Amino acid sequence: MNRLLLNKVVMLLSTLAALAGLGFLFWILITLGIKGVESIDWHLFTHDLVNKGLRNVIVGQFVLAGIATLIGVPLGMLAGIYLREYGINSRFAMFIRNLSDVMMSAPSIVIGVFIYGLFVAPFGGFNGWAGSIALSIMMIPIIVSTTDSMLSLVPTELREAGIALGASKAQVIMQIVLVAAKIGLITGILLAFARVVGETAPLLFTSANNDYFTLNMSDQFPSLTVSIYQLATFPDAVSQNLAWAGSVILTLMVLFINLTTRFIFRKRKVK
C-alpha cells in the first residue's frame, strides 16, 4: 500500500514539474511572439543595423556559424572515426571520450575568454575568425560524440564483408560505414549547428559586432545574438523593438533546424 501511495506521489510530482516547465516555455514563447512579431517588417531584412535593420547581423550570424561548421565538422568526424574504428576501447580513446564529454558541458563564456587570449589580444582587435573558431570548439565535442555513437550502431558484419571483398580499412570506413550512418551523422551536424547559431557569450569576446554589412572576417564582424544583447540594453523603444524582432527571428531559425533534425531522425527510425 505504501509503495502504491509513494508511486502516485512521485507520479504527481513529476507531472507537476513537467507542467511547470511547459508553462514557463509557453510563457516565454507567447511573450516573445506578442512583442516580437509586431516588430517584424520587410525593412528589417533589407537594411543594416545602422539603418535600424537586421540584414547584416542575420547574414553575419550564418557566416560565423557556417565557417565554424567547416572547421568543426571535419575535425569532429575524424576524431569520432578514430575513436570507433581505430582506438575502439583503448585507454587513449576512453580519455578522449571523457574529455569530449567535459568539453560539451564547458561554459561557452570560458571558451570565449580562451579564444580571446589566443586570437584576439595578440592580433590587436576583435575579428570574425576568432568568433568562428570559438563556435567550432563548441561544435567539435558534439560531432565527436555523435560520430562515435552512430558508427557504433553500424553492424560489424558490414565491415567484415568489405574487408572480405578486398577493401582496405579506409575504404570500408569511407564507402560502407559512413554511408550506413549518414542519417545519424547529418542529424548530429544539424544539432551542433543549432547549438552554436544561438550563442552570444563567445562572440562578445571574439568577433564583437559591426553595425555595417561586411564579409571581412579580419575585422569586427556582425552577429544577430550580440546585436540582440546590445539592443536590449538601449533605453529607446526602437532599439528594444529591434531586439524583440531579432529574438523572434533567431528562435524561428533554431526551431526550424531542430524540427528538420527530428524529421530526419524520425525518417531514419521508420526505415
Q: Specify the higher pLDDT residue, 269 or 169.
A: 169
Number of alpha carbons in the 13 Å side-chain half-sphere of residue 3: 0
Give the whole-number percent of the chain exceeding pLDDT 70: 97
Q: What is the average pLDDT value for the chain, to the nearest integer?
A: 88
Cell of 98: 571523457
Using CB atoms within 10 Å of the CB of residue 70, give its burial: 0 to 12 exposed, 13 to 18 middle, 19+ buried.
Answer: exposed
Q: Which CATH class is domain 42-270?
A: mainly alpha
Checking if the pLDDT of 130 tops 70, the result is: yes
Work out the average pLDDT over 231-237: 88
Alpha carbon 124 to its chain's center: 28
Cell of 136: 567550432
Work out the average pLDDT over 29-33: 84
Query: What pLDDT, on the 0 to 100 scale, is given for residue 73?
Result: 94
**Total-model pTM:** 0.87
Long-range contacts from 152-157, C-beta under 8 angstroms, 24+ separation: 152/84, 153/181, 153/184, 154/180, 154/181
Query: What pLDDT, on the 0 to 100 scale, is given for residue 228?
Result: 92
Using CB atoms within 10 Å of the CB of residue 210, give its burial: 0 to 12 exposed, 13 to 18 middle, 19+ buried.
Answer: buried
User: DSSP 3-state assignment of 263?
Assistant: helix
Q: What is the band of 160 on the pLDDT scale with cuts at 50, 70, 90? A: confident
Query: What pLDDT, on the 0 to 100 scale, is given for residue 89?
Result: 79
How confident is the model over 46-90, as pLDDT tens digits? 899 988 899 999 999 999 999 999 999 999 999 999 999 888 878
User: DSSP 3-state assignment of 95?
Assistant: helix
Measured CA to CA, the distance from residue 53 to residue 241 in angstroms comes to: 11
